[in-house]
Structure 1
């Protein structure tokens, strides 16, 4: 693989992301970087919907802020795989007495649940080829 073929365009990256259900959100908590594994889904409008606990630091950091999100698959035995990273603004959607709809049916939030909606502004992705023979050995 040459250096150019390692990079994914945004369409390829979003197509790979759509097939996943878990990833990592990166945000700032008390002026320090924090990483948290989360469940997510891709909304029809291209935003990323992250499940969150209502009292989590992530919810406070995400409201009107900028967060990053990463997901991917890399085979630990041979190094083949891919990774997609998103950067964008976020909003917090909290379920009240029922469902809260914020634009489309796929963003409905049930009572007691909190969802962070991230609007990807920068999308990057990369494919990883197999490791050279012996590269993973001590």
Structure 2
């Protein structure tokens, strides 16, 4: 186990991807009118990629089209003082191929907006890092 200078466990890429796959909510970080913006999103992992289901007219959809974005997810148990955080940076793109949209529609990804939500953003993590805190 490798520790950083603060005593937090440094996670491997595989550990980071496994932890991302274990939680349904994360935060996408993007640029909105030349300013940083953060929005919580429902997501899932597929083939090492972050998959976000949204509406075509959402801020996330507009901002993440062919852009570099950051993504963060975490889980903490304050009573037990354990948890983890994973941050990824990569290129995001909208899925436009009908067959791929059909395939992604079958994922166990519950959208927050009940209608008009068959727009998918895929983010391929190029850089990924994570830390785990243990009591």
Using CA pairs below 8 Å that are at least 6 residues apart, which structure has the higher relative contact order? Answer: 2
Assess if the C-alpha contact under 8 Å between 1:101 and 1:108 holds in 2: no
Equivalent residues, number: 123
Alignment-derived partner of residue 114 in structure 1: 119
- Where in structure 2 are there 5+ consecutive unaligned residues? 107-114
Post-superposition offset of 1:6: 1.3
2:81 to 74, 79, 82: 79
Does residue 23 (structure 1) correspond to residue 20 (structure 2)? The answer is no
- TM-score where L is the length of structure 1: 0.78
- TM-score where L is the length of structure 2: 0.79
Coordinate RMSD, CA, aligned = 2.5
Post-superposition offset of 1:20: 1.2
Distance 2:102 2:119 in 1: 16
SS of the residue corresponding to residue 91 of structure 1 reads strand
